[in-house]
Amino acid sequence: MTLAFRAIRRPFLPLLAIGLCSLMGLVSLGQMPLRHLPDIGDDLVEARLTAPGLTLSDTDLLLAQPVEDSATAISGITSVSVTVTPGSVTMSLPLADPSRADDVVSDLRDRLAALRGMGDVAFDVTSLAARSSRQSVAARIALSAPDDAGMALIHDRLLPALHRLPGVDRLHADGLTLPELVVTPYPERLADVGLTQADLADALQSRLSPSDGGRIDAPATGILAISLGEDQPAANPEAMGRLPITLASGATIALSDLADIRLAHRPETSRTRMDGHPAVLVAIYPQPEADLPDLLARIDTAAAAFSRDHGIATRLIDRRADTVIGQAQATTLALLEGALLVLAVVWAALRGWRSVALAMIVLPLSLLPTLLGMQVLGFSLNIITLMALTLATGIVVDDAIVEVENIHRHLALGQSRWNATLAATRRIGRAVIATTLAIVAVFLPVALIPGMAGRYFLEFGGTIALAALSSLAVVRLVLPPLAARWIDTPARPETPTVGAANLTAPPPARPAPSRLAQMHMRLLTASFRHPLLVGLATLALITLSAMAVFRADGDFIPAEDTGRLTFALELPRAEDAVLAEARLADLTRNLLALDGIRHATAIRPEDDPTRLRLILDLAPKSDRAPAAEIQRDVQALLAIEIDLRARPLGETGRPQAELLLTGRDPASLHQVATAAAATLHRSAALPNAAVDRALIPEQRLILDPVAVDALALSRDEAARSLSLLTRSAAPLARLPQPGLSSLPLVLDPGPARSLLLHSGAGPLLPLAAVTQPELTLAPARLERQDGLPVLRLMADRAEGQSASDARAALSDALATTDAATLGIQPRATGDAAQRADLMQALQTALASALLLLAAVLFALYRSLGQVLVILITLPLALGGAAMGLAITGQGLSLPAILAMLLLLGIVAKNAILIVDEGLSRILQGEDPTTALLTAARLRARPVLMTSAAIIGGMIPSLVGWGEGAGFRQPLAIAVIAGTAVSTALSLVIVPVLSLQAHRLGLALTSRLRRAVPA
């Protein structure tokens, strides 16, 4: 006796188990965190190293290259990327498996510690951590025009308070200035007492050393952090000016007699202006496991408390978490609306309110245990899992529709509720189990894809599989007991049936088929007469479908209207700083005058002030035009600015079209990149094409060897003094302040040519006496990937141009150059690289999924031919989905790929229903042709009903209302088009191929029997 038959007779335990799981799922719904995307883990390790005092070339030679060579040997990384600027190295290590992030961080930390002990240069590790490449901002806090005291409060009060909030991973502040004591020597007075600027720096460090009563607080940082004794000066200019400096003669002189001492405020990373006024922007990044609504509430509370306690106004100008919450709410609404449409489909087919209730009760009893399973597996509520639940509304009802429809057929023959339920449960059992296992078999290998893509598929496929298994349990253990006692019965009196034999007897055909059924049968009959033509047509469709899918292109994550526009601006390098500020203020006023723009923020990096990032926060969607229209207006306004280059950036902060070029020879690399950019300019294939090669003015001081020798000047002495020019921002010490962070003490040596040097002849010499200045343009940074120099070829997309067309235009421009001859290789970046990796991994996973599906089906049907029939029909859905995406202008993005994976399970389900019924009839002795014609006719109704339910569940997502519509629409289009096309084709192709497979199997069996002697 099967479990289903036991449940019909003794329903208490199954009902109790499913009920408890549903209640626990309801509790899980309130406990699961809400996020934007699944937690993909920390798939990137980043480190920043600093060595103040080094030039760009020295930083590369002495620091970047040794670190890069050491990091290459770390296991578990896919590449090594470094960016080198004077005195700083930033290194990125993408991970093959995010679960190994801690191991990679630990290994890199050990290697850096070893290099610090044996390297030629001292350096500090200012940051080393693993993070997610998809980590997005939860919120941004804006603080307008704070004074110097306000800056200190932000640094010492607000930032620590925000970092302590549960769920906060890291912070990034733009526009924050930090106080420092700046000592600027007077060259004439230094010369009078026989000191150089380097001598004064040494004297200050000696005077503020631990031997004079101080104590080192943080020696590991590489900066002298001291606690001063009672005889040490206070952290202010007046007290520091009284600090005695000991001369070579033993006499002392006050520091204020040798230098100007002032309290200054230096931008930490950048200068920021919001709506034309100085501002501080604090970006808050959430931890992967953070619940965004709770985190946003904590951020609101912390910001309000800071404003209340310190009188500094705070505004949350970018509540990105609100967008995520809106997307979740819109997706949930689409789920509920889809469930109502599924209800309408079921009512139209069954027409009995009890039957509809039995079919629909499966929905909550399946989805709530699914939520419980999601929580156990560590899933979250995000746009991926919510879309999976939306799709599941049609899938979980499918089995119930098939079961209830089969019971209805038996009731129509006059059987009682009890007997009809027993007969239908036995008749449909294998097909229901097979269709559920088919969905699980499709998603299991895909969910095991390694890397970031696998994390998306794990939560999507895991949610679908959990819903399918929950639905199977409800349909087999809950629905039959209820149907046997409560389902609608036909209006005419029941004709009692007795005897167990009736449970296995096939129900006779329905009388009076509809006109649609008659058309279906005529088409099937014609197809049975021409099996070769059907087979060739199927092969052609499969080939076209595969080509359409694997040649399609698109963005990895579809573009969304997030309410923000970002531009990269480049100002002329010769422009005066005051004029640049005035020009930027005028530009800000003009931007704010445009409809739909609420705030305009300009962020100017301190290390390259000619390159700005412009962030435009838009008004709510209901009060403005679409972001694309506003972007066109902004670009038109920026285009009329003289000598201003503007480039729109994507959501990830990168240009809209970008190609990474690598080669061993930097000169050849620059030659090829420049030629490709020129080709794009001439052809106008992509607007605003350029090479991302930042150049900055650099003053070179060239030693005169004749003068050096004549004056007996030591080159080491010259290097010692010259190092002050690049080390001017490096603190000589940090002076503690009660209740505040320590105050850096820095030496500003003044103009380069006024530096004083000790000569062998005795008197001090100005640097100008032995050097000649030279002004050149030098690279602001160097980039390498896996040891090869890197240049980026960038461009904007033309209006209406797809990402695939833009990448093709970049590749075509590169093909016109000597790239192949010179060994220059293009590499995909950002979403394009992730998509390429995904498609490569997906092909392997799909092959594994098909093998697993074949094994499951063979175990159920013991017929290799019928298994092949089911598998052959799977690509039909992919072709339909690709056609739908092409018609609507959508690319093959992540949601479309997720939909296609689901379609494989849906098409397998349709084929299984037909094949299972046909094989059952053949085993009962029917003629194979008649059996498969009857199976196609009988199963057409449940196949159409289940397909209609899935399509109905997707219609709200297709409409595109609410937040996140750009993500839901490609998925809905692919599901609807793929389901419609595959259903229509399956009802004709599957019976024909199944009959031919049966005949071929009989022929092979007969030949084998003749070949093998008895």
Tens of pLDDT, residues 955-986: 888 876 666 677 788 888 988 998 898 888 88
For the segment 785-790, the average pLDDT, to the nearest whole number, is: 89
Q: Cβ distance 442 to 855 under 8 Å?
A: no
pLDDT recorded at residue 86: 81
In terms of Cβ atoms closer than 10 Å to its own Cβ (0-12, 13-18, 19+), residue 886 is middle
- The answer on pLDDT for 656 being more than 60 is yes
Q: Which two tokens stand for residue 834?
A: 């992730």
CA angle (818 as vertex; 815, 824 as ends), nearest 5: 85
Q: Which residue has the higher pLDDT, 42 or 301?
A: 301
Q: One-letter amino acid identity for 101?
A: A
Q: How far apart are the C-alpha atoms of 426 and 404, rounded to whole Å?
A: 13
Range among 203-212, 447-456, 492-501, 584-593 rated most confident: 584-593
For the segment 256-278, the average pLDDT, to the nearest whole number, is: 84
Return the half-sphere exposure (C-beta side, CA atoms, 13 A cut-off) of residue 192.
Answer: 9
Mean pLDDT of the chain: 81
- The answer on pLDDT for 218 being more than 60 is no
Q: How far apart are the C-alpha atoms of 647 and 381, rounded to whole Å?
A: 35
Convert the pLDDT of each residue in 474-507 to its tens digit: 998 999 898 888 887 765 544 444 444 344 445 4
Q: Cβ distance 132 to 44 under 8 Å?
A: yes
Range among 455-459, 509-513, 739-743, 774-778 rated most confident: 455-459
Model confidence band, residue 80 (pLDDT cutoffs 50, 70, 90): very high
Model confidence band, residue 216 (pLDDT cutoffs 50, 70, 90): very low
For the segment 894-913, the average pLDDT, to the nearest whole number, is: 83
Lowest mean pLDDT among 462-466, 762-766, 945-949: 762-766
Q: Helix 894-923 and helix 928-959: axis angle, to 10°?
A: 160
For the segment 168-172, the average pLDDT, to the nearest whole number, is: 87
Convert the pLDDT of each residue in 595-624 to its tens digit: 999 889 888 887 667 788 899 988 888 888
Q: How far apart are the C-alpha atoms of 705 and 715, rounded to whole Å?
A: 10
pLDDT recorded at residue 496: 45
Residue 658: strand, helix, or coil: strand
Q: Which residue has the higher pLDDT, 44 or 695?
A: 44
Phi-psi domain of 552 (left: phi exceeds 0; alpha: psi -120 through 50; beta: other)? beta
- The answer on pLDDT for 145 being more than 70 is no
Convert the pLDDT of each residue in 98-130 to its tens digit: 778 889 999 999 999 888 877 667 788 888 988
pLDDT recorded at residue 225: 35
Q: Which two tokens stand for residue 33?
A: 């965190």
**What's 767's DSSP letter?**
G
pLDDT recorded at residue 318: 74
Sheet holding 740-747, edge to edge: 259-267, 177-185, 740-747, 733-737
pTM above 0.95, yes or no: no
- The answer on pLDDT for 27 being more than 90 is yes
pLDDT recorded at residue 754: 80
pLDDT recorded at residue 695: 65
For the segment 325-339, the average pLDDT, to the nearest whole number, is: 74
Residues 6+ apart with CB under 8 A from 640: none
Q: Where are the alpha helices (DSSP H) in 766-863?
A: 803-815, 819-822, 830-861
Q: Which residue has the higher pLDDT, 219 or 83?
A: 83
Residues 6+ apart with CB under 8 A from 502: 415, 419, 423
Q: Which residue has the higher pLDDT, 424 or 214?
A: 424
- The answer on pLDDT for 570 being more than 80 is yes
> Which run of H or E residues covers position 765?
strand 764-766
3-state helix, strand, coil in the chain (%, to 5): 55, 20, 25
Residues 6+ apart with CB under 8 A from 620: 563
How many helices (H) and strands (E) the chain has is answered by 33, 28
In this structure, the chain runs to a length of 1014
Residues 6+ apart with CB under 8 A from 558: 890, 891, 893, 894, 895, 966, 967, 969, 970
Q: One-letter amino acid identity for 393?
A: T
**What's 750's DSSP letter?**
-
